[in-house]
Amino acid sequence: MSVSHKTIGILHPGSMGAAVGRQAIVGGARVLWLPHGRGSATAQRAEAAGLEPAADLFSLAEACEVIISVCPPAAAGDVAEQVAQSPFRGIYVDANAISPERTQYIAALLSERGITVVDGGIVGPPPRWPGGATWLYLSGPDRAVRQVNELFAGSPLEPVLIAGPVGRASALKLAFASYHKLSYVLAAQSYALAHGHGVLNELVELAGRILPQTPLGRPDQLVTAGPRAWRWAPEMREIAEACQSAGISADYLGAAAATLERWTVHKDDNTVSLEQLIADLQDLAPHLRAVTDHPQAG
């Protein structure tokens, strides 16, 4: 079946899921989502992206040839279990930030129901034109991987095929995230330390000169971690699980998760300030000296 006639399902259209669904629509696919149990913000995103509501999971499963799971890491198993109990027998793309072991468990669960699982790892911001680069790394059964590749070829969500079984795409995503997202935690720790000793503005100036393109050198970049911490904290624990299975120490990842968990109260709040985030780490009232006149990276 050609891409232009495919029907796919998105579970669920958060910021990333809605953007992924939109790119499939632009490529010619019909995209369904499941309104049941979702909030008004999700409904607004889905409608804006052009996704069509399905009456229930049974209806979505019967209509779709491909289902893409894009949800918080903690929910990935539950979503897979629900699909396993549905009449779906197509290609299931697990595009969540979960460990290779969990991805392999999901693949085994769904394959028993006649469902083909493709491992997906999304790296980058929600894809859109114009915008930055976003990649969808894919591993698993060759034929299914090629079909998923066709859904997004030429779109802002660039598919990258990795030879090998389910688990390889997840491992790559988590390996990258273990550096990229941890850099925000380390920057926040540095800011809190500097504030505690009265040299925060000086740190911002120093980092802006030496590391201008990093969260440490750009407070405006660091503050974006606050609204996303509710997703990043469980991702740190997924990375820890992946490290442990590879015989690598993961103690620091537990500490990173605990740091991010202090910010979960700011879920999706794009107005949160750097001062609030530092206060959360120091257990202080949010009456902090403002960070002003910091350098902005070009």
CA distances from 286 to 135, 231, 267 (A): 38, 23, 17
Q: What would the two tokens of residue 254 be? A: 């537990």
User: In degrees, to the nearest 5, what angle opens at C-alpha 72 toward C-alphas 69 and 77?
Assistant: 60
> Mean pLDDT, 10 residues at a time, over the chain (298 residues)?
76 94 96 92 94 97 98 95 98 97 98 98 92 91 97 95 97 96 97 96 97 96 96 96 94 94 95 95 54 41
- For residue 220, the tally of other CB atoms under 10 A from its CB is 11
Give every CB contact of residue 132 below 8 A, 6+ residues apart in sequence.
Answer: 124, 125
Query: What is the model's pLDDT at position 224?
Result: 96
Evaluated on CA atoms 238, 244, 247, 248, the torsion sign reads: positive
Instruction: Measure the CA dihedral 215/221/222/224, to 10°.
Output: -150
Query: What is the model's pLDDT at position 195?
Result: 95
Q: In the CATH hierarchy, which fold is given to the domain comprising 3-166?
A: Rossmann fold (3.40.50)
pTM across the whole model: 0.89
